[in-house]
């Protein structure tokens, strides 16, 4: 884990420093004097060699300091922290909602293939599997906000100032993410459960006279859920890094929007910190998925 973090921090630092354009020149403006430019270059430590700068940055990072953002001069960690709530909230709400839709549909579809529910849910997942999230978001805004006028089109209302308004503002971004997620989860749940239901030990259990429902829920579902946990976990890992496009559509003030802003401001420090944060979270979530899988499936042993 620790070597991986070091490698990732090095890769992120080097990659971000490949971006052309110098933040000092950028901040000083076109009319800056040579002395002003020099002062800014020294201030940001840009006069030192690249590797030297990496070790300074790494040392500070290990002390919990990612430096200050160049444009706003706020600590990067503080800026990430202020966006974290919005992203985590959206991720968790969207994941829960997608599981609530997809798990029952997937299970019922697998138990009665080609039944009415199976057909409806297969169609649902085929549609939302292919519809790009950003178009779905636009369609929802068009239908729910513009035509029906039911919910706000963008922005996030603070929970403390207006709890109802806060819930209203999260509905559309949540739907945009969770419908696509649910489409994938339904497919995996159905395929995985059908696969397990066709195995010998299930036939044995049925032959012993165990009721069909009990076979499905007690014997099959636990094994069938292993690949589902993986796919949900991986999607969550992606989301904790900020649903970049969805946050952009709904002007949702999360991490994903911060990345886009950091790029358009050419703020290296901010971009470096945010990208490092996202990659680390992605890694931790993948690790957690492995641990959960090992808990659900005793056959899997962690190295």
Partner 1 sequence: MADGTDGFAVKLWRSRSGRAGIILCSLIVLAAFCAPLITLYNPLEMGVGTRLSGPSGQHPMGTDEYGRDIMTRILYGARISIVAGVGAVLIASFVGVNTGMVAGYFGGALDSVLMRIMDAIISFPATLMAIVVIAIIGTNSLSSILAIAIVNIPTFARLTRANVLSEISKGYVEANRALGFSHTRIMYQEILPNVLSTLFVQITVSIANAIMLESALSFLGLGNPPPAPSWGSMLSTGKDYMLYAPTYAIFPGLSLTVLIVGLYLLGDGLRDVFDSRQSGGR
Report d(CA 182, CA 10) in Å as an integer. 36
247 phi and psi, to 5 degrees?
Answer: -60, -35
Stretch that binds partner 1, among 45-53, 74-82, 198-206, 259-267 (CB under 8 A): 259-267
Q: Is 91 in the site for partner 1 (CB under 8 A)?
A: no
| Helical packing angle, 2-17 and 268-296, nearest 10° | 150
Our measurement of the distance from residue 192's CA atom to the centroid of its chain's CA atoms, rounded to an integer in Å, reads 24
Report d(CA 78, CA 57) in Å as an integer. 16
> Is the separation of the CB atoms in 230 and 236 below 8 Å?
no
Q: Minimum CB separation from partner 1 for residue 4, in Å?
A: 8
The separation between the first and the last C-alpha atoms of the chain, rounded to the nearest angstrom, is 12
Q: Kindly list the distances between the CA atom of residue 275 and the CA atoms of 103, 259, 260, in Å, as whole numbers in the listed order.
A: 32, 7, 11
Binding-site member from 279, 287, 292, 296 for partner 1 (CB under 8 A): 279
Q: Is 141 in the site for partner 1 (CB under 8 A)?
A: yes
281 CB neighbour count, 10 Å cutoff: 21
Complex with partner 1: residue 130 or 207, whichever CB lies closer:
130
Stretch that binds partner 1, among 14-22, 52-60, 105-113, 295-303 (CB under 8 A): 14-22
Count of residues in contact with partner 1, rule CB under 8 A:
37
User: What is the x/- site pattern for partner 1, positions 95-134, by CB under 8 A?
Assistant: -------------------------------x--xxxx-x
Q: Please work out, in degrees rounded to the nearest 5, the angle formed at the alpha carbon of residue 133 by the alpha carbons of 94 and 169.
A: 50
Q: Is 237 in the site for partner 1 (CB under 8 A)?
A: yes
Q: Is 248 in the site for partner 1 (CB under 8 A)?
A: yes
Q: Minimum CB separation from partner 1 for residue 274, in Å?
A: 9
Interface positions with partner 1 (CB under 8 A): 7-8, 11, 15-16, 18-20, 126, 129-132, 134-135, 138-139, 141-142, 146-147, 237-238, 241, 244-245, 248-249, 259-260, 263, 271, 275, 278-279, 282-283
């Amino acid at each position: 884990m620790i070597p991986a973090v070091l490698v990732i921090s090095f890769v992120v630092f080097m990659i971000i420093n490949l971006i052309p354009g110098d933040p000092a020149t950028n901040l000083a403006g076109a009319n800056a004097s040579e002395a002003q430019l020099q002062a800014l270059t020294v201030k940001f430590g840009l006069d030192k060699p690249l590797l030297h700068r990496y070790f300074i940055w790494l040392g500070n990072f290990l002390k919990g300091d990612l430096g200050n953002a160049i444009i706003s001069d706020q600590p990067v960690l503080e800026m990430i922290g202020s966006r974290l709530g919005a992203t985590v909230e959206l991720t968790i709400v969207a994941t829960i909602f997608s599981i609530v839709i997809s798990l029952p549909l997937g299970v019922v579809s697998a138990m009665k293939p080609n039944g009415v529910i199976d057909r409806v849910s297969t169609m649902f997942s085929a549609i939302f599997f292919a519809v790009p999230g950003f178009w779905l978001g636009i369609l929802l805004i068009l239908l729910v906000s513009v035509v029906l006028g039911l919910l706000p089109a963008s922005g996030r209302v603070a929970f403390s100032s207006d709890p109802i308004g806060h819930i209203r503002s999260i509905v559309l971004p949540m739907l945009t993410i969770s419908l696509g997620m649910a489409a994938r989860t339904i497919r995996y749940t159905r395929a995985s459960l059908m696969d397990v239901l066709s195995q010998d030990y299930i036939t044995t259990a049925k032959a012993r006279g165990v009721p069909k429902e009990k076979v499905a829920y007690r014997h099959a579902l636990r094994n069938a859920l292993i690949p589902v946990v993986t796919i949900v976990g991986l999607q969550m890992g992606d989301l904790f890094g900020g649903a970049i496009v969805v946050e952009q559509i709904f002007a949702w003030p999360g991490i994903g929007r911060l990345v886009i802003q950091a790029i358009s401001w050419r703020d290296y420090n901010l971009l470096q910190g945010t990208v490092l944060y996202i990659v680390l979270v992605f890694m931790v979530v993948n690790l957690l998925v492995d641990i959960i899988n090992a808990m659900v499936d005793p056959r899997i042993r962690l190295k």
